[in-house]
Amino acid sequence: MFYLKGISEIEKNYEVFLIDQWGVIHDGFKKYQNACRAIKFLRERKKKIILISNSSQTASSTKKHILKKIGINHKLFNKIVTSGELFRYNIINKKVAITNNSNLKCYNISHISQDKYLSKLNIKKATNISEADFILASSIKPNEKLKNYIKILNFSLKKKIPMICTNPDKKVYDGNKKKVLTQVGTLAEYYQSKKGKVIYYGKPYPEIFKHCLKEVGQKKKTKVLLIGDSMDNDISGANECGIDSL
């Protein structure tokens, strides 16, 4: 079959495959059968497969609330590395330089509750933006747009409150709604354009690629292939990191 013929032509050149999630193996609503079969083909050939995603959810949450829901076996992947997981790792290892205050308070922009997630990281949730040490921009509802957040963002800009964005995606195709929707990366882009401080976790920034390779002990970048669907995040990120992309 074509998808196996295609992947079999190049698989011998690589030891590690970094595979994007949304748009490559599913559309948020249904899985792409051929993509999943191709991944299974690679696993049978003892390749290391890492799911790399700009999702603000952690690895465990991705397994439970995304992959399982869509019907994708998480065991297809050796590791799951998300933007949210990378942020969690950096907070735990005290690698997030925002404030000297150890009792952090964040204003969380998210369309789902992240209270338990923040509590485990000893981050207090600010109920009012004026109380926040930083903004954690995780996600927005499918029908929301940038204009819904302009008032909060402009206030934060005046107060010079830094933003952490755990999903740099600006747009995403929603398989359920059958259209392209605004994602939280659009808010971060606006904030940065107005000279606000933004710290990004995820593609196309090098840290997430380096973290993936560290997770599986891979040192030779020439043996790594990224498979993605976004020129802005996947392909440019791979280019910046010095790895091949498809």
Taking the model in full, what pTM does it have?
0.89
pLDDT band at 6 (very low <50, low <70, confident <90, very high): confident
- Percent above pLDDT 90 for the chain: 72
- pLDDT surpassing 70 at residue 99: no
SS3 content of the chain, % helix, strand, coil (to 5): 40, 20, 40
Q: Determine the Cα–Cα distance for residues 196 and 189; give it in Å rounded to an integer.
A: 9
Q: What is the mean pLDDT of the chain?
A: 91
Q: pLDDT per residue over 30-81, tens digit each? A: 999 999 999 999 999 999 999 999 999 999 999 998 999 999 999 999 999 9
126-182 residue pLDDT tens: 989 999 999 999 999 878 899 999 999 999 999 999 999 999 999 887 777 778 888
Kindly tell me if the per-residue pLDDT of 1 is higher than 50: no
| Identity of the amino acid at 8 | S
Helix, strand, or coil (residue 65):
helix
With cut-offs at 50, 70 and 90, classify the pLDDT of residue 97. Answer: low
Q: Look at residue 2 in the predicted model and tell me its pLDDT.
A: 44
Query: Does residue 15 surpass a pLDDT of 50?
Result: yes
Between CA 138 and CA 83 the distance in angstroms is: 9
Residue 239: its pLDDT value, please? 95
What's the confidence (pLDDT) of residue 53? 96
Beta bridge partners of 245: 226
* Mean pLDDT within 221-225: 96
Q: H helices then E strands: how many in the chain?
A: 10, 12
| Omega prior to 204 cis, within 30 of 0 | yes
209 pLDDT exceeds 60? yes
